[in-house]
Homo-oligomer: A and B are copies of this chain.
Amino acid sequence: MYIKKKLDERLSIEQVEESTSFAPKFDQNGLIPVVTTDFKSGEVLMQGFMNIDSLLMTIELGEAVYYSRSRKQIWHKGKTSGLVQKIKEIRIDDDQDCVWLRVEVEGGASCHVGYRSCFYRSVPFGKSSNTSEKIELKFEEKEKVFDPKDVYGDAPNPTKL
């Protein structure tokens, strides 16, 4: 198993935080959270998860491969939609329990709903949130980049209630 060879064991805080040792931490489900931003705009496109296999596939391919918790399988982003995420940089955080991908997206969209970013709505805060008991989201992207029906057809929506 070449996979085991490439990752170090976590032996000390100094090793994990202050060295060049690559020793990522996976949670009790074997997953590590991933933040994906657009290389040019810096915009957060999505937040997902990887297991050890999808992390190593991402590193080898130079394209983002996630683990889909709803489908319970490896998910090579863009294989269905064409919206492949080309890796420009991979970063790991201090305690190595989170990955940051900087990507370029073919087609310019990353969200299954059809928007450029998954984060197309904002939440009012501070004084603007105090005027009523109900928080109303605000759409920050006004138009969809693509029609999900054209791209995904009748594939089930991944959103879970």
Residues of A bordering B, CB below 8 Å:
2, 5-8, 10-13, 16-22, 25, 33, 35, 37, 41-44, 46-47, 58-62, 87, 89-95, 98-100, 111-113, 115, 118-126, 129-130, 133-140, 157-161
CB < 8 Å neighbour of A135 from B7, B123, B130, B157:
B7
A60: chain B residues within 8 A (beta carbon)? 125-126, 129-130
CA distance A115 to B91 in the complex (A): 14
The A contact surface, by secondary structure, is: loop
Cross-interface CB contact of A90 among B93, B94, B125, B139, cutoff 8 Å: B125
Complex Cα gap A18–B94 (Å): 36
Least CB distance from A76 to B in Å reads: 15
A-B contact pairs, 11 of them (CB 8 A): A6-B133, A16-B161, A42-B42, A42-B43, A59-B125, A60-B129, A62-B126, A90-B122, A92-B137, A94-B115, A95-B158
Q: Is the CB of B89 within 8 A of A122?
A: yes
The complex places the Cα of A115 from the Cα of B94 at a distance, in Å, of: 9
Specify which chain B residues have a CB less than 8 angstroms from the CB of A21 in the assembled complex.
Answer: 136-137
| Residues on B with beta carbons closer than 8 Å to the beta carbon of A118 | 93-94, 98
Q: Tell which of A19, A46, A94, A119 has the most Cβ of chain B within 10 Å.
A: A94
